[in-house]
Structure 1
Amino acid sequence: MNVTIVDYYSGNVASVINSFKKVGNELNDNIKITLSNDLETIKNSDKLVLPGQGSFTNCINSINKINGLKETLDDFVLNKKKPILGICVGMQMFADYGEEDGGCEGFGWVKGSVKKINLTANTNSGFDPMSGISLTLPHMGWNQVDCWPRNEKSEILCRGFNGNGSHFYFVHSYIFKTEDSKNVLMTSYYAEKFTCAVNKENIFGTQFHPEKSGENGLKLIKNFIEI
């Protein structure tokens, strides 16, 4: 199996590479993990991972600067229907539109938009009575995640987490507001309940960072590889 981590110069992806290689080596010697933006390598992959650091707009612009990359991703995901996992902004780019850094159009693979976390969604001051702390942005650190599998593939990704209240590591100020609740795979809470993982057919994404989430993150990576 060939798993390619898409390289579009979005930031330091060393921890993503290392986490996937660790899981791949433990699962099977025939699992090859590659970091690449070579279009033929991406086309011939069995699965893709789309990481993301920085702002929504900058990540979209970085994708568009690599000639043919967006079209190759569209073909891989929409036509060939092969699995992809977006991480953080990598997931947010699946949306129709993102408001961050002036705003721009996303990939349009999963209906919805990316908006800033509303710290006063349930309070006037940003003080969260549930945790007893004043909320700030970015939302950074460990938070509980609840999993809501919708189909056979998402059951595999949620294996070990469904109803478990597992914790993952977050660093973000914007959230993916999906139009269709059927695309919500996992939820968490910070000032407001928010979608922290999406799924539509072969498309998967997490707002949290599995590569920074210890054993739970490695378990999710393993689940994705096994879809």
Structure 2
Amino acid sequence: MIDKSRWNYASVVADIPDGATVMVGGFGTAGMPDELIDALIAHGARGLTIINNNAGNGDTGLAALIASKRVRKVVCSFPRQTDSWHFDAAYKAGEIELELVPQGNLAARIHAAGSGLGAIFTPTGYGTELAAGKETREIDGRHYVLEYPLHADFALIKADRGDRWGNLVYRKTARNFGPLMAMAAKCTIAQVSEVVALGELDPEAVVTPGIFVHRVVAAGGKS
């Protein structure tokens, strides 16, 4: 019997090793899997490369992971905001590396990884410092930059509900990067508000099919 549901946050992140590349869902705080991140902090893995839309907000979630000195590199679109003080401090101290990726490119590169593409050509960034040292090409009179897929060892995402097979539905804009990240990681761990019985999810509403999800943990699972 296939059962990907778990009831303990500590157990679902226990095999994330030092140096792992981890995608973290969320657009700011919307859709961020805070309880999974807290469990990752408690787990203690270090030297992580984090792929996310931004570099943390305030003192919780991804910001707390950065503050705990566990992150070696951040790949994101919006590293600096009014409340990104933990990333700012780490970056100014030379403790963290940044790869800045325009948001459309970030989504496209994650999607390329999940779709099995070797690379993509995108017009975004052409003629700027972001294209320095990268291959460029003119296609039908327009200039493009070669970008490579973003793969991850693990993806930590948040969904509204899931079943024991790993099928997921999302709540409104909390969906954001979750479906793409689930496809691009070797192991996807989903935090959900509840795990429901098979058949309770409308198949037409399932956004992420269980084939892309390896573990599902309900909110409130002890970490």
Whether the TM-score (by the shorter chain) exceeds 0.5 is no
Larger Rg: 2
Task: Report the TM-score, using the length of structure 1 for normalisation.
Answer: 0.29
